[in-house]
Amino acid sequence: MDLIETRHQESSTILCSQIPVNGWHKLIGEGTIADAILDRVEYSSHRLELKGKSLRKKTTLDPHEN
């Protein structure tokens, strides 16, 4: 909360999460704090939802491909 409060409308903050925004409230836990954080974050944010295949999955190279 301190970080968000300090940076709110003063500087940019990038948040990255694999948790959908609708799950953040439950993840934060404390209702009042969660409301305050999400109000500040969502009020002036630009959301980018990335979709696609995971780049973490290892791919095996086929020795027959050139």
Kindly give the confidence (pLDDT) of every residue in the chain, 66 residues in length, as a single tens digit, with 9 standing for 90 and above.
777 777 877 788 888 888 887 888 888 888 888 888 888 887 777 888 878 887 777 666 666 655
> Where are the domains positioned within the chain?
2-43
Work out whether the CA dihedral 42, 24, 34, 11 comes out positive or negative.
negative
The encoded tokens of residue 61 equal 């190279």
Q: How far apart are CA 25 and CA 28, in angstroms?
A: 5
Q: How far apart are CA 3 and CA 7, in angstroms?
A: 6
Instruction: For residue 24, give the amino acid letter.
Output: W
pLDDT at 64: 65
Q: How far apart are CA 53 and CA 55, in angstroms?
A: 6
- DSSP class of residue 57? S
